[in-house]
Structure 1
Amino acid sequence: MDEISKNDVIELSVTGQGMDGEGVARADGKTVFIRGALPGERVRAKVISVKPRFDVAILEKIIAASPDRVAPLCPVFGKCGGCDVQHMRYAAQLGFKRTLAIDALKKIGGFASAEVGEVIPSDEVFRYRNKLSLPVRRGGRIGLFAKGSHRVVETSDCLLQYENNRLLIAALRDFMESEGYEGYDEQDFSGDIRHLVAREIGGRLYVAVVATRSIDLGGFASAVLGFSPDAEVWLNVNDRRDNVILGAAWKKVCGPDSPVVVDGLKTSLHPAGFFQVNDGVREKLYSFVAALCSGGIAVEAYSGAGLMGALVAKRADEVYGIEINREAHEAAVKLARDNGIDNMTPVLGDVAEMLPKVLGEIIEKRGDNRGTFLILDPPRGGVSPSVAATVGGSGAENVVYVSCNPSTLARDLRIICGYGYEIASVTPFDMFPQTANVETVVQLVRKIPDTYIDITVDMDELDLTSSEAKATYEEIKDYIFDKHRVKVSSLYVAQVKQKHGIIERDCYNNSKKDNTKQPQCPPEKVKLIEEALRHFKMIL
């Protein structure tokens, strides 16, 4: 075959699947990533990017279809960034996600013999998300961002969201039109309404309209109460000139003050609070973790509002939950108080600082950490090397690691297992049907319970810059937001990566305008992005 050039149309046999669900083929001695193609297919594709080590192509025609291919139900599938694999039969999605976990553990962690269980499926593969966050832009455009961009793909419905999202979108459009409010413009920071954020959990709908200034939401609230009489409606004011969704100022417009019952626990919620997005799978996962931590003392790091810790407290003798976010910590305190959970102690602070202190207190009371369970449920960026080392040297009998990122999970497990732990079980959960994301629970046990092993880990060996483990734009942005509460755009991330000479696939939605017309990343955000790149070992 002649050397492949940009805009060439070529026929390929798809033999594998990439981390984002795209098809993988070989041509001209290089890997070709084909978005929308499935393993086992023969396709015709147009090359849109040529790189030294790989090419990127877009699907033009399916010559021979995979038996796993199905017709997507959503009319904007492939346009918006909400779904990755809606064109795959659900059983095939589960197999793909299990392979993601297996490959990460083998290639990144070095756990070639780890047995990965079958993926625990979601009972609902559509209409499962209890949370939505929709950008509102000039011209009354409400929808979802296109993959890798801030271009809004308009929609009147999202098949991953609960049914009420259709009514909320329609109500906000009608309200803006009747009151003359305009959507936000990210270029000149003008407009009135930036986002529609909602969560439906415990039988109650929580809705927040994010506006650039204080506005009267009475008409919108009346419309929401018309189809959800028990709803809470909030105004959030965000006048920042960045991409952070929520501002600091909140005003409750209407709704009851009583708690709701979630997983059998009285829980007070806030629109900004964190909860797993899939209720059915969350219940399965939390019950699974609680069963692993029966008896003894459990210490949960990154414990959020305390829901998982409260369920663990039903089986454990005592539970400590460490959380750095003050609002989440206070919610955990209230959860324990309202439900009479007297063996649960929420701890406010950074995990890196507080985990050694909590473990030290346990040793002081009990003499050692045998019978102690450590639960890790960190953000997508995983844990820091210092936290991994603390866990490894803790002497805890079991470690249960809950992760939504197989790559950082495998990296962290390699450090922890270097201190004398081994993998006892790996159980993936399909928290996110129709996407290329998977939640994984790993149980570690001590190989030599009474021996502490001093080791030196060469962090260069844990480099994640390979194509299998390179941090995605969303992972980089999530890391920055989780740590600094600052939102950065994909464009800014791309500019900083280009500054450091990182070779990557072109974004499918790159602007055709001259780069000089694009906004340039401010110096303060350059520093944050560089910090994230160092965290993911993409730069030194």
Structure 2
Amino acid sequence: MSKRRRNKIPEGLFKANIESLSHEGRGITHIEGKTIFIENALPGEQVEFKYVSKRAKFDQGVAENIITANKQRITPECQYFGYCGGCSLQHMKSDAQLAHKQNVLLEQFIHLGHVKPEIVLPPLEGPNFAYRHKARLAVKYVIKKEKVLVGFREKRSSYVAEIRECKVLHPDVGSKFIAIQGLIESLSIHNKIPQIEAAVSDSGTALVLRHLTDFTDEDIAKLNVFENEHQLKLYLQPGGYDTVERLNKSDLDELFYKLDDYDITIYFKPVDFTQINVEVNKKMLSLAIELLEPNKDENILDLFCGVGNFTLPLARKAKSVIGIEGDKGLVKQAKKNAIKNDIDNVEFFMADLAELDKSNEFIKDSFDKILLDPARAGAKEVIEALNTKNVKRIVYVSCNPATLARDAGILVNEKGFKLTQAGVMDMFPHTTHVESIAVFNRE
């Protein structure tokens, strides 16, 4: 039998009893011994589903009818849920989403790190909608439709979803999709703008237009009108991130967010990494500092420090703080933030934390406590290389429970720490992304 015949997708609807939920938020069932992952299905439900793909080891489907519903099921607030790929869990109550993410975290600790936290922290919660202050939106001029689409990708597709609004984005962006589409359609290079990055700050909302060809003078005039009408800050990006510049060069106002509890203002560029959920970020900062317990006699190391989101608040509490970051632009911005906030007990240095040079001074230096907030790849290399002999406590903020669990195994089983506390933070409601925090104390 040919491979094409073997992988032919069955037509029609099929019944299934959902046994559990995958880490990706899909219902799991088995038919004739084969695993099937079913979108829009929750544990304990009986559903009718259609197949969307068949593979050698597993199949995939989408629930079309819910025969018996889980009590945690709700009606999604967004009309595009299931079509747009921006969200995946809107059909679950918020507390059920958090419980699922907590389970994912604990399972990963056990299976990948062979560790278990002594205390599971209560979930850190925030707003469920209009929470997202950063986003990268796809842009596509569709010839057959003779229109521009702006938004996230369709679920299970590279096509741009045709949506008019987004409820998880801040309204300054989420309510302006139609206006943005109209702007792009009016430009002479409407088919040469592949993406828009949005950044909402306390000082205004920025849109960064990535363009593959130069704008005409008429285009620039239209962009200026749009910026004024909608009270936005437009930026142009003809190449890499280092080419980003303001449309209106006379506007020198910078983007920033305030951390009032620490009397700190964090300035950033629209393409700089900042946390997408401002309210949860503030709560996360408070929790991390509470767990780390810095004091005026301690020297702190902040790894993957970015623009100083954790570093500068820590400096208010500690004797000194060293911030290490692999991105040259972020290091430069962090130094500016220290100066603007009149904080002089902090230093920032650039280092590739994935490929460490043993000559880096911070590798050999002794610190009392460490905070780290790596990207999804985790911090295996730097954890293995660091001198942790005199480190009393480590607070690890993570956006990937798998790499956190792996690194926890190194800290506990090789470096002599105890995993004392861990929990999830609802940085990304309605998605399967798991933001978490863990505390490691010296044995």
Tell whether the structures are fold-level matches, with TM greater than 0.5. yes
Q: Which has the higher contact order (CA 8 A, sep 6+)?
A: 2
Deviation at 1:98, TM superposition (A): 0.8
- Say whether the 8 Å CA contact 2:137–2:151 is kept in structure 1: yes
Distance (Å, rounded) in 1 between the aligned partners of 2:393 and 2:109:
19
Distance (Å, rounded) in 2 between the aligned partners of 1:359 and 1:200:
34
Distance (Å, rounded) in 1 between the aligned partners of 2:421 and 2:220:
50
Distance (Å, rounded) in 1 between the aligned partners of 2:76 and 2:358:
45
- Paired AA for residue 250 in structure 1: V
- Say whether the 8 Å CA contact 2:9–2:52 is kept in structure 1: yes
Deviation at 1:114, TM superposition (A): 4.6
Question: Which residue of the partner structure matches residue 224 of structure 2?
Answer: 221
Distance (Å, rounded) in 2 between the aligned partners of 1:218 and 1:85:
41
CA shift in 2, pair 1:232/1:5, >3 Å: closer
Partner of 1:76: helix, strand, or coil? coil
- Correspondences of 1:140-289 after superposition (within 5 Å): 140-166=148-174, 168-183=176-191, 192-215=192-215, 216-228=219-231, 231-238=232-239, 246=240, 248-254=242-248, 256-259=251-254, 260-264=256-260, 265-289=264-288
Listed one character per residue, the Cα deviations across residues 407-448 of structure 1 (whole Å, up to 9, x for unaligned) are 11101111121221110110210000011112111010111x
Listed one character per residue, the Cα deviations across residues 282-338 of structure 1 (whole Å, up to 9, x for unaligned) are 001111112224121110111111121101111111110001111100000000001
Normalising to structure 2: TM-score of the pair? Answer: 0.88
- Say whether the 8 Å CA contact 1:302–1:321 is kept in structure 2: yes
- Say whether the 8 Å CA contact 2:166–2:175 is kept in structure 1: no
Question: Which residue of the partner structure matches residue 401 of structure 1?
Answer: 396
CA shift in 2, pair 1:83/1:235, >3 Å: same
- Say whether the 8 Å CA contact 1:101–1:116 is kept in structure 2: no
Note if 1:128 corresponds to 2:131: yes
Q: Give aligned pairs, total.
A: 419
- Paired AA for residue 80 in structure 2: V
Listed one character per residue, the Cα deviations across residues 455-495 of structure 1 (whole Å, up to 9, x for unaligned) are xxxxxxxxxxxxxxxxxxxxxxxxxxxxxxxxxxxxxxxxx
Partner of 1:100: helix, strand, or coil? helix
Determine which of 424, 428, 446 is the counterpart of 2:424. Answer: 428
Distance (Å, rounded) in 2 between the aligned partners of 1:344 and 1:393:
20
Higher strand share: 2
Listed one character per residue, the Cα deviations across residues 352-384 of structure 1 (whole Å, up to 9, x for unaligned) are 536874446644xxxxx4xx1111211111123
Note if 1:80 corresponds to 2:87: no
- Say whether the 8 Å CA contact 1:49–1:55 is kept in structure 2: yes
RMSD: 2.3
Deviation at 1:200, TM superposition (A): 0.7
Note if 1:14 corresponds to 2:38: no
Listed one character per residue, the Cα deviations across residues 244-269 of structure 1 (whole Å, up to 9, x for unaligned) are xx554223112632444421323332
Question: Which residue of the partner structure matches residue 123 of structure 2?
Answer: 119
- Paired AA for residue 431 in structure 2: T
Distance (Å, rounded) in 2 between the aligned partners of 1:378 and 1:279:
18
- Paired AA for residue 245 in structure 2: K
- Correspondences of 1:254-403 after superposition (within 5 Å): 254=248, 256-259=251-254, 260-264=256-260, 265-291=264-290, 292-295=292-295, 296-351=298-353, 352-353=355-356, 357-359=360-362, 362-363=365-366, 369=367, 372-384=368-380, 386-391=381-386, 393-403=388-398
Question: Which residue of the partner structure matches residue 145 of structure 2?
Answer: none
Normalising to structure 1: TM-score of the pair? Answer: 0.73
Distance (Å, rounded) in 2 between the aligned partners of 1:37 and 1:289:
35
- Say whether the 8 Å CA contact 2:424–2:435 is kept in structure 1: yes
- Say whether the 8 Å CA contact 2:165–2:176 is kept in structure 1: no
Deviation at 1:160, TM superposition (A): 0.7
Question: Which residue of the partner structure matches residue 454 of structure 1?
Answer: none
Deviation at 1:166, TM superposition (A): 4.3
Listed one character per residue, the Cα deviations across residues 211-236 of structure 1 (whole Å, up to 9, x for unaligned) are 112214332232232232xx432111
- Say whether the 8 Å CA contact 2:305–2:325 is kept in structure 1: yes
Distance (Å, rounded) in 2 between the aligned partners of 1:443 and 1:113:
9
CA shift in 2, pair 1:356/1:172, >3 Å: same
Distance (Å, rounded) in 2 between the aligned partners of 1:79 and 1:346:
44
- Correspondences of 1:504-523 after superposition (within 5 Å): none
Note if 1:414 corresponds to 2:409: yes
Deviation at 1:58, TM superposition (A): 2.0
Partner of 1:68: helix, strand, or coil? coil
Structure 2: runs of 5 or more not aligned: 1-6, 143-147
Distance (Å, rounded) in 2 between the aligned partners of 1:157 and 1:84:
17
- Say whether the 8 Å CA contact 2:299–2:369 is kept in structure 1: yes
Distance (Å, rounded) in 2 between the aligned partners of 1:45 and 1:392:
54
Partner of 2:420: helix, strand, or coil? strand
Partner of 2:409: helix, strand, or coil? helix
Partner of 2:161: helix, strand, or coil? strand
Question: Which residue of the partner structure matches residue 109 of structure 2?
Answer: 105
Distance (Å, rounded) in 2 between the aligned partners of 1:407 and 1:179:
44
- Paired AA for residue 173 in structure 1: Q
CA shift in 2, pair 1:28/1:277, >3 Å: same
Structure 1: runs of 5 or more not aligned: 184-191, 239-245, 364-368, 448-540
Distance (Å, rounded) in 1 between the aligned partners of 2:437 and 2:131:
20
CA shift in 2, pair 1:261/1:83, >3 Å: closer
